[in-house]
Amino acid sequence: MLTRGRYRARFAETAEDLRAAQTLRHLCFRGGEGLDADRFDALCHHVLVEDTLSGRLSCCFRLMPLAGGAEIGDSYSAQFYGLDALRSFEGPMVEMGRFCIHPEARDADVLRVAWGAMTRFVDDNGVELLFGCSSFRGTEASSYLEVFDMLAARHLAPKRWLPRVKAKDVFRFAERLRRNPKPDRKAALDRMPPLLKTYLLMGGWVSDHAVVDRDMNTLHVFTGLEIASVPPARARALRAIAG
């Protein structure tokens, strides 16, 4: 898809490529050796970001294109969130899932190349809404209260698209009695997952609750980004990376 510096982003083409992605996902989400695989893998395009010098797979994610909101019930996210409001969204969508970066890949260019590849896919396919689950490591909401306070105060989804509670185990951070109307932005950004941070910088929004996913050992929030709402300067920067 693209090469920038020492990193190359490409689609998985073989069963071996898919196993490499599933292996990295297992390491990042579950720990140790193994394969993280599910039925959605067969429905998705898988993007690999590789270090061309070391040969290591530095990042991976999967993309599930949908023709519009009428198909959103088929998405991975629909298992956890009530997404009926988004059924009226008419434009093409893509769900980005299982986004992870190798624990030893600390170069910020990895994330830049990943988003450059995403930008190229969005532009090539006329995507109007990018969505997915942004994950926090672990299942203890108390570890991320600063982040949840900021999400509640500044980044909730528009009411017309707001996901409803569907999962049994959730943390309703927008209803917290202790909600802080002036959250500590620096503390929140320090604890925020890089993927979610990038979504928000581009104008993304989140559900009003987090799902406690004990199988994946994560908390996650539904995250949406309407492509037309991306600030022009950020759109230009991403397209410069995408080439």
Summarised one tens digit per residue, pLDDT across range 59-72 is 999 999 999 999 99
Domain range spanning residue 80? 62-242
Contact of 16 with 48, CB cutoff 8 Å: no
Quick check: is 80 in a domain?
Answer: yes
DSSP per-residue letters across 93-149: EEEEEEEEE-TT---HHHHHHHHHHHHHHHHHHT--EEEEEEEEESS-GGGGHHHHH
Length of the chain: 243
Quick check: is 40 in a domain?
Answer: no
Q: What are the tens digits of pLDDT across the range 9-51?
A: 999 999 999 999 999 999 999 999 999 999 999 999 999 999 9
Quick check: is 8 in a domain?
Answer: no
Quick check: is 54 in a domain?
Answer: no
Contact of 172 with 206, CB cutoff 8 Å: no
Q: What is the DSSP letter of 162?
A: P
- Best CA proximity match to 129, nearest among 69, 177, 54, 179: 69
Residue 110 has pLDDT above 70, yes or no: yes
pLDDT at 182: 75
Count the neighbouring beta carbons within 10 Å of the beta carbon of residue 232. Answer: 7
Quick check: is 34 in a domain?
Answer: no
Tell me what percent of the residues of the chain surpass a pLDDT of 90: 86
Quick check: is 190 in a domain?
Answer: yes
Write down the residue that tokens 């893509």 correspond to.
94
Quick check: is 71 in a domain?
Answer: yes
Q: How many domains does the chain have?
A: 1
Quick check: is 126 in a domain?
Answer: yes
Residue 181 has pLDDT above 70, yes or no: no
